[in-house]
A and B are shown apart, each in its own frame.
Chain A
Amino acid sequence: MLMLLLQSWIPFIPESASTLSDDVDAVYFYISGVTVFFVTLISLVIIFFVIRYRRRNPFEIPRPVEGSTKLETLWSVIPLVISMTIFVWGAKVYFAQYRPPQHAMEVYVVGKQWMWKFQHTTGQREINELHVPVGRKVKLIMTTEDVIHDLFFPAFRNKMDVVPGKYTVQWFEATKPGRYHFFCAEYCGMNHSGMRGYIEVMEPAAFDNWLSGNANAASPAAVGHSLYESLGCASCHGANAEGGRGPTLLGVFGSNRVLNNGTAKADEGYVRESIINPQAKVVTGFGPIMPSFQGQVTEEQLLSLVAYIKSLSTTQPETTTAKPPATGTPQSANPVRSSSPTSPNR
């Protein structure tokens, strides 16, 4: 409530349009309050002292004042306590920002000097524009073809670097339909400031409509399946991924893999590493015979392969629609905070 007042009364506050953006703003306003309080306090005290104790004659020597351990303790402990409250609150919100929820709608993101490429699991591709439905958790699985970039959504108070050689993840749930900026926030070379675009948050019906209007593209999983065949993966992992000289890929994704030297959870990063650097983690019972595919597949092809292998594990693949999938834990009904009836102004 207070937040709403602040946001509408004070200019120079960015749009707040995700489930977590208000939480971040709350921490922001709390620290702002602490800052304003202490800066004002110190300024006023200094101004008062400087006027009150100005030098009145050139010879005066003030009586020396020794330090006071009591005061020192006081002004060490008070800032410590206050900063710990900020730390705990900030960490709590960060934890929610950092941890992607289950059953989110997934979108693959590849950064490239100097554009953002998005692909929905249903196959729609977008450049420098991303369409998402309001009120649905969206998880971005991100990487880059060249240097480090950073995908920054000011309206969601969220950003995450995309780092070559691995996948990073960020998630959000938009609460307000609209068209918001996103930026590359990590300097990436000549046209860094041109590496920006818009996220279009749509009403669910409009999003489903948009999605079906672009449905002729092949899904990443289907692309991954044909890559699986053309790259010759089938010769070891089986025509239907049932296994052979290499381990089966059925049901692998999301499971815990027992390796020659430990265990690992088979997530997107694990699958990527197993293709690019197969010797790093070898499943127990198999020899280190797989060749590396480094340099033979692009990041986008890798994401397709990941999508394919992922599809071998879930009977009901993650949907890219405005509604959460029926399977799995029931979604908590996330109320859309803004009742703004405006359709996306596009």
Chain B
Amino acid sequence: MEEFTIQPPRTNYLNAEYGIKSWLLTKDHKRIGILYMGAISFFFLIGSLYAMAIRLELLTPQGDLTQSSTYNKMFTQHGIIMVFFFLIPSIPATLGNFLVPMMIGAKDLAFPRINLLSWYIYMLGGIITIYALLAGGVDTGWTFYTPYSTTFSNSYVLATGLGIFINGFSSILTGLNFIVTIHTMRAPGMTWYRLPLFIWSHYATSLIMILGTPVIAITVLLLAFERLAKIGIFDPALGGDPVLFQHLFWFYSHPAVYIMVLPGMGVVSELIANFSRKNIFGYKFVAFSSLAIAVFGFLVWGHHLFVASQSVYAGMIFSFLSFAVAIPSAIKVFNWTATLYKASISYDTPMLYALGFIGLFTIGGMTGLFLAALATDVHLSDTYFVIAHFHYIMVGGTLLAYLGGLHYWWPKVSGRMYPEGWGRFSALVVFIGFNLTFSPQFVLGYMGMPRRYHTYPVEEVSWQVLHVLSTAGASILGIGLLIPLIYLAWSLRYGRLAEANPWQLPGLEWQTASPPPTENFIETPIVREEAYEFAPPETKEVVGKFEREKPFPFYG
């Protein structure tokens, strides 16, 4: 196998410079990706602790672990931390930051300084939000519905709002950077239709980031005006309209769901193609379905308002459009499945995560139909059904894709291999734990259990049974997430040294050393093939009775 190994250069991006200053002032997109990785892991840990506390409280119908006011803060802060400080930046800011330039054969993002700035903005927003939590917390729900948030809540709404407002700019800058980079910095020969699907999905995500995020910034600003200066925008007692807030909020926050899941889809497209050694089935359909999702995603916000006194005709239009946005997602699922046909499928950890993603995302997507359909949404909205549905998308989708991607690119990022056996084992534990946590919640919602409930009726015995199952699942899920934390940290020091191309793949990021040099490629690569081109005829050779491909040329 030594012919696959490219000798790592003496210096790489990790050891090019030493010292804390070399990290905090770095303009290297790879190092910034790692800064983000550390930060979002921290926020994920905090969000998970809230989740565990919530699950423990719900073991019994009574409120015996916390006060109602504490419980309300816990679910609010779980939502805010997970949505704004983990899910939205998760894949784009870490893997995207690291890989977008590498996959298109560029030395860095178009604006390295802005990239670093975006991390500082993220950290500033995060620190302000953490301050708000420590100072007393916030209890409005992550949705900040008015007039509760502007007039009635006595918690740290403004400080949290400021944190989210500031954090939004890091999202906008990242999106801007990706769009410009993808347009202008592709290597020679890297045409649009040769782009890996990871890039297409990040392009679509970036569009939503720069078009949608300003709206949430404006919305939070208006909220602050009303809360601070009593300017009547949302509170009817001041002459405002409370439902207007919901329109503005969901105009961003529904597309934000696609900010969270589209990069995950990009990761899964990479994993499915590469670990089955096939070109993705229907490349263009998968690529354009990302763009279709980004566009249609802006037109469906009203499906959060079916029981919020929106007009019945508006409800029908939003319901119709919500069904329309389901189609591109369905196309992706079918194409991933079809890619496996007559493939050569490996059972490595990243592939297990990718297969888990397809299953859970399919369930998450299909259960969205219950909420897009008007009649059933009336019953199910604001119940645990909604909770289960979006956790299937956010955790079963985004988190699994993130973990899959993390394992897949771990050799490239760290220069070390993770322990494969532990990887497969923890992927299985995560999958089982996740399903046990969230599938009972579909039933719970249909039974009528509203979300954001600190206590529930004792006489509803089945509710408690379902909650106990869910909490048991959450414990398993928690263990499944701790295992990778431990072995990935372990591998940084003790893991086997990674080859340049340990999976033997054609993607550009694998055609350079692991870990890569600061400039990514010693010489600018020239792209001559489509993405996922595993077996160009001229590189095939016969070894014994097997046909195999020749070692990949080092482009350039």
Contacts and interface: CB of A to CB of B under 8 A. Distances in A.
Interface of A: 11-14, 23-24, 27-28, 31, 34-35, 38-39, 42-43, 45-46, 49-50, 53-57, 59-68, 71-72, 75-76, 79-80, 83-84, 86-87, 89-95, 97-99, 113, 146-148, 150, 152, 154-155, 157-161, 163-166, 168, 181, 183-194, 196, 294-295
7 contacts: A28-B370, A42-B337, A80-B327, A97-B378, A187-B72, A189-B152, A295-B237
| B308, B315, B369, B372, most chain A CB atoms within 10 A | B369
Interface string B314-351: 01100110010011001101110110111111110000
Nearest to A50: B345
Contacts of A148: 145, 147-148, 242, 308
Interface string B357-393: 0110011001101101111111101110000000000
Nearest to A198: B457
Interface residues of B, number: 99
Given A42-B333, A79-B327, A97-B375, A181 B147 contact: no
A159 B381 contact: yes
A53 B358 contact: no
Interface in B444-480: 446-448, 450-457, 460, 462, 466
Interface in B184-242: 235-237, 241-242
| B243, B282, B283, B455, most chain A CB atoms within 10 A | B282
Interface stretch (B109-117, B167-175, B271-279): B271-279
Contacts of B333: 42
A164 B147 contact: yes
A187 B145 contact: yes
Given A62-B342, A63-B342, A93 B374 contact: yes
Query: Ordered nearest first, which 10 A-B pairs have the shortest CB separation?
Result: A154-B448, A165-B236, A90-B373, A94-B374, A59-B548, A93-B375, A67-B282, A49-B340, A193-B453, A35-B366
B342 A84 contact: no
A193 B455 contact: yes
Contacts, number: 291
B367 A62 contact: no
Interface stretch (B129-137, B409-417, B513-521, B539-547): B539-547
Contacts of A89: 373, 375
Nearest to A54: B345
Contacts of A87: 319-320, 323, 372-373
Contact of A14 (B338, B373, B376, B448): B448
Interface in B393-451: 443, 446-448, 450-451
Given A67-B283, A168-B309, A187-B452, A49 B369 contact: no
A72 B331 contact: yes
Interface in B296-319: 306-309, 312, 315-316, 319
Interface string B237-281: 100011100000000000000000000000000000000111101
B454 A193 contact: yes
B340 A50 contact: yes
B139 interface: yes
Nearest to A29: B376
Contact of B341 (A53, A160, A184): A53
Contacts of B284: 67
Given A55-B345, A190-B69, 17 more contacts: A42-B359, A53-B344, A53-B345, A54-B345, A62-B343, A62-B344, A67-B282, A72-B285, A75-B334, A90-B376, A91-B319, A91-B375, A158-B379, A163-B243, A165-B236, A186-B145, A196-B457
B355 A64 contact: no
| B143, B337, B374, B453, most chain A CB atoms within 10 A | B374
Contacts of B456: 193
B43 interface: no
B278 A65 contact: yes
A31 B337 contact: no
Given A42-B358, A46-B337, A53 B277 contact: no
B442 to A, nearest CB: 10
B379 A159 contact: yes
Given A62-B277, A164-B242, A190-B139, A157 B378 contact: yes
Nearest to B76: A187
| A27, A155, A185, A188, most chain B CB atoms within 10 A | A185
B448 A12 contact: no
Contacts of A163: 242-243, 308-309
Contacts of A27: 373, 375-376
B376 A152 contact: no
A59 B316 contact: no
Contact of B448 (A45, A61, A152): A152
Contact of B376 (A24, A75, A161, A196): A24
A49 B372 CA distance: 32
A244 B324 CA distance: 56
B319 A165 contact: no
Nearest to B279: A64
